[in-house]
Structure 1
Amino acid sequence: MTINGVELDELIDVPAGLRNVVAAETRLGDVRGQEGFYHYRQYSAIELASACTFEEVWFLLFEGRLPDRDELTEFTGEVAQSRLLPTELLPILSTIAAGGDPFRPMVGLRTALSMLAAIRDLQPVWDGDRASRKADALLICAVTPTILAALHRLHRGLEPVVPRADLSTASNWLYMLTGELPHPQAVRAIEQYLIATIDHGFNPSTFTARVVASTGADVASAVIAAIGAFSGPLHGGAPDRALDGVDEIGSVDRIDGWVRDKLAKGDRVMGFGHAVYRTADPRSVLLRDISIGLGGELVEFATTVERRVTEVLAELKPGRDLYTNVEFYAGVVMELCGIPRSMFTPTFATSRVVGWTANILEQADTAKVIRPSARYVGPPAPQPVPPRAGQSV
């Protein structure tokens, strides 16, 4: 028996969810879960978040090296120009923002990017050279936060804020959401968060982007597919839910009961545990330090919740090594910087789109379609089609 031209005994069974299966080679980075370490290219992602700007790390993912001063000036100029929305897209954004209750920005983003691809006539990566693919990738990355901020404001009956060429990606994001120039401390906190979440191995959305790119489709199609995967609460849609959990607890004396009740019901404790890390999530450690630097009652309570929930989980799930993941303190940092909870996941997307497109560019260079097989486990075939109602005998 054959499947897709492959003899059945040649098929290789893999773990559910493709866990630990190497699907490709990459030069973009890696996650070493046992060590609690991940990197972009040859640099620690956490060190990059501590020392660099978002644009510098964006350049690194696209070009393979950190930029010099002239390269960075040129690159930031290209980004600034690409942030502006085509005039043809503005009425479409108003229509998108009027739909949905509750309104879901990520749904709006994928629709808007589809229209943008049509307006700009983005071509399949199979048909273009690397320069054209890179230009399309930069456009999608630059315009994503502009679209998301515009949808957020339009849904609330406010006019979109035009991005400023003199502001960084992080500063523009806060500015476009609120219409006010943000405090430098908030800008740097969000910038570090954005850098720390650009890329993280072959997670579901990144893998989805690479699958679509492997078919030769255009950059926008691959990103839109990634957004579909990213919008799920088990992937990118968790920062607001993690902070909602902190609110549900409300006070220190309720922590133990809240955790035990969640586990008794079989519910996930959002913001804790990770599919890869068996130590503390280094992104969570970074964001905890950032939130402590911002200060306030929320931070004090969140650190208490982290400590006690970790202790209760260790008691109830021995040997599982469940620590806070990136979502827990991401929600705290974004809340302190004035980002509405409905825009937590979109904030995540404004950074991860850089990782998606870097992976799309790398995949496009391989010209190899990702096409796994499946083992059929249904009723034996072929069987005769039974008589159907109304069929003449």
Structure 2
Amino acid sequence: MKIKLEKRAKVAFTEMFTKAVIMARKTKDAAILNNVYLMAASQKEQIHIISSTRDEYLHQCLDLNRFNDEFTIEEDGSCVMPVEFDILAKKFGGKSIKIEASEDTKVKISSGSSKIDLICMKAADYPLRKLSQPDLRVKIDTEVFKNMINRAAFSASDNDTRPVLKGVQFAAINNELSVIGTDSYRVSMITCEFDTKQIDKDLNIVLPAALIREACKKYLNSDQIELQISSNDNKVTIFTGNTVYQVTLLVDNFPEVKKLVPNEFNQIFRIGRDDLINAIELLNPLINEASNYSKGTIKIVFKKSSTLISTPSTELGSGSIKLESSVVEGVLEEDIEVWLSAKYLLDILKLGLHSRHATIKFIDSLKPVVLDEEPYNQSKFIVLPVRKR
């Protein structure tokens, strides 16, 4: 394999290689997967950059047609490139960079007067994947997908006790698209209208939350993506621009969270989202100094025209902040007091809710608290109160 990259092609190649390195550095499954696979194909005028782990697969394609004469394939072939090349490529000062895999385990890199020889693993030993025939194809706007994933995935569990809760449910049923994350103590449920006529059957899969959240940030960069789901190997493959990203699905049954959402409430309050965030962050040093079961919790008392945020008593002291609020629905005959996890509430306010005001719905102080935003029904966030002893 012999390739030469100049100017914009060099920049594009190194950017793709950096993304591949991020994935390659994560794997602990096999030594060869700590490298990046490169393949040059002059007939298609493309170079392929591949990396993978046990659960993920990333295939990027650099097309020569985009760069005129800035990218040349002098000889077809493949090699397994060490991740250290990422640093070398950025340090080379020349205007161009040339990569030559003249022998099976040696790669020569040159730029200007600089030359480096690398010892590599055999390209034939790299475990390339063959994509399975999909059972279902779904096209969706990339920003819609990323927005829904990011607003739900933070509620997923990071505990191995129930592996399925480390994922988010992604479903398209009855002209509605929904993404749900939960760790049993809180729930994020994001929905939007979706024309399910474009797919042959209902879609209901569980994506690994941490991996798909990272993929949204690093790999999905086109206006529209296509998801291809294969039941044969329990994988979803996402096609986005010049990139193919594949991840293994979680196969356990996701809890039927929608049935847990109350439909009727005794009181509904509206409070400024930023005001509530600022109050909790101001009290956080005291909140985190509390001992035993009170650590990390805040007390919220809802009144007719105000809300009082306060902390447990700690060695540092205690604090309270009064905020303006209003009763949207229900007759408030007496104050409502509820204890909540400050972290969970902050996550919802900062990562989930996007509106200026937060709407907080109660049945009573011991039942799940529901937060949503205007317009209603596009998102719901549920958090369980902390029972005080």
Q: Normalization by structure 2: what TM-score?
A: 0.23
Larger Rg over CA atoms: 2
Q: Which has the higher contact order (CA 8 A, sep 6+)?
A: 1
Could you say which structure has the higher strand fraction?
A: 2
Larger proportion of helix:
1
| TM-score normalised by L of structure 1 | 0.23
